[in-house]
Amino acid sequence: MSQKTILYVEDNEFNRKIVRQMLARTSYRLTEAPDGEQGVAAALAAPPDLILMDIQLPKMSGLEATRQLRADTRTAAVPIIVVTSFALSGDEHKAKTAGATAYLAKPYSPRELLAKIREIVPEA
C-alpha cells in the first residue's frame, strides 16, 4: 500500500505545526502550502489524496482555491476538508458550494480532525 499524501493549505505556522505533529504519528505524508496560490499550484503539480484548506488565506481565499481545484480534471475528485476559524453562519454552505467535501470549524480538537481525515481517506 502506498502512503497517502495530505496537502495542508494554511498560512498560520502554529496551526501547521499542530497538524504536522498530529500526522507524525500516522502513516500519512504531509505537504504544506502557506497561501491559496501555492496550494493550488502544489495540488496541480502533484495531486494529493486529501487537501486541508483554510478559508482565510493570503493571495487567494481557500474558497477560490477550492473552486479552481474543482474545475481542474487533475484535482476535481480530490477530497477537500475546509477548515476555518471564521465559522460564520453560511460559511459551511459557501464551502460546500465551492466544492468542499467536508467542513470543520476551528477550534477543533486534533483528534476530531484526524477522525475526519481517516473517515474520508483511510490510512494505507
77-103 pLDDT, tens digit each: 999 999 877 656 677 888 899 999 999
- Among candidate residues 109, 84, 110, 96, the one with its CA nearest the CA of residue 10: 84
41-84 pLDDT, tens digit each: 999 999 999 999 999 899 999 999 999 999 999 999 999 999 87
What domains can you pick out in the chain, each with its CATH number? Answer: 5-120 (3.40.50.2300)
